[in-house]
């Protein structure tokens, strides 16, 4: 039985087909020993191993064996039951990871966009409860400055003059500040600030256009607009509040194995893709 290449399991009526090497990822587990030991909890019937356990939860067991990672849906809540299944199969590394329930549970994330329009300038301040999200969003936003004649929102993009990118103001890890529009400089020249938000390649100077693109970017990133309010009618300031359920950075946990030694459990932070 230990030389069997393809193994079929029927767990609680749900069929799984996998390689023997997958079940043998952790030699000390019951799934690995099942291929060679006579275990009354694993009955071999018509070429299939029958296991009287929860088949739905076993799908997460198999995903862990195949990827050596724990990736659970945002609405998952059966942590204790899944841990009990991991303990039944004697997958100690998985059971240990599931005990770190605080790392696995998604959390509610809040983000606010403050927008103020003053004559030919628009001011933005973004505050987020998750500093990682704010950092990622800051990498998507670039402000360019340059001089141009005229002072209209609809002034054409001054392609003949190079624009200089400016760093965003970061009062803290949880917020950022930037502005766009034009401001009087000297003579008939005006200092213009353009905003570009990836993956959109346009450089926008109109504050309303920048606001629309920013809100659309957040909606596409999984945020939900929950409220819009006027923060200050005198200053024409508005506040847009968003929320989304987000996995913590440490959700994806990896088990590293070293040859000839016991498994080493390590929590690895998920890598945030730039521009997302």
In tens, the pLDDT along 11-64 reads 999 999 999 999 998 999 999 999 887 778 888 888 899 999 999 999 999 999
pTM over 0.75: no
Q: What is the pLDDT of residue 147?
A: 76
Contact 228, 239 (CB under 8 A): yes
Q: Is the domain 108-149+161-246 a CATH 3.40.50.300 member? A: no
Average pLDDT, the chain: 82
Q: Is the pLDDT of residue 185 over 70?
A: no
Check if 6-103 and 108-149+161-246 are the same fold. Answer: no
Distance, in Å, from the CA atom of 205 to the CA atom of 244, rounded to the nearest integer, reads: 29
Question: Whole-angstrom Cα distance, residue 15 to residue 232?
Answer: 61
Q: What percent of the chain has pLDDT over 90?
A: 54
Q: Is 177 helix (H, G, I), strand (E, B) or coil?
A: strand
Domain range summary for the chain, segments of one domain joined by +: 6-103, 108-149+161-246
- Tell whether the model's pLDDT for residue 162 goes beyond 50: yes
Q: What is the mean pLDDT of residues 242-260?
A: 59
Domain 6-103 = CATH 3.30.710.10 = yes
pLDDT at 272 over 50: no
CB count within 10 Å of CB 162 equals 8
DSSP state of 105: S
DSSP 8-class letter at 261? S
pLDDT at 140: 96
Contacts of 276 (CB under 8 A, 6+ apart): 136, 221
Do strands 43-45 and 48-51 pair parallel, antiparallel, or not at all (unpaired)?
Answer: antiparallel
pLDDT mean over 156-172: 78
pLDDT average, residue stretch 193-214 = 94
């Amino acid at each position: 039985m230990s030389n069997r290449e393809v193994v079929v399991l029927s767990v609680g009526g749900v069929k799984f087909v996998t390689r023997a090497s997958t079940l043998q990822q952790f030699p000390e587990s019951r799934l690995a020993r099942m291929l060679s030991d006579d275990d009354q909890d694993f009955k071999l019937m018509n070429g299939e191993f029958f296991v009287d356990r929860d088949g739905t939860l076993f799908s997460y067991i198999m995903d862990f064996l195949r990827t050596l990672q724990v990736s659970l849906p945002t609405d998952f809540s059966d942590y204790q039951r899944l841990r009990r299944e991991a303990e039944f199969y004697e997958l100690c590394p998985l059971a240990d990871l599931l005990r770190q329930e605080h790392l696995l549970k998604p959390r509610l994330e809040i983000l606010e966009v403050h927008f103020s329009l003053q004559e030919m300038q628009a001011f933005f301040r973004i505050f987020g409860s998750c500093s990682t999200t704010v950092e990622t969003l800051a990498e998507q936003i670039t402000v360019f400055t340059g001089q141009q004649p005229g002072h209209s929102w609809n002034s054409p993009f001054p392609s003949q003059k190079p624009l200089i990118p400016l760093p965003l103001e970061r009062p803290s890890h949880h917020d950022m500040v930037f502005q766009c529009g034009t401001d009087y400089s000297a003579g008939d020249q005006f200092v213009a600030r353009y905003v570009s938000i990836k993956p959109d390649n346009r450089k926008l100077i109109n504050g309303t256009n920048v606001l629309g693109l920013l809100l659309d970017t957040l909606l596409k990133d999984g945020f939900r607009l929950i409220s819009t309010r006027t923060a200050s009618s005198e200053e024409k300031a508005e506040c847009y509040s968003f929320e989304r359920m987000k996995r913590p950075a440490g959700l994806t946990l990896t088990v590293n194995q070293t040859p000839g030694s016991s498994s080493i459990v390590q929590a690895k932070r998920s890598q945030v893709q730039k521009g997302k």
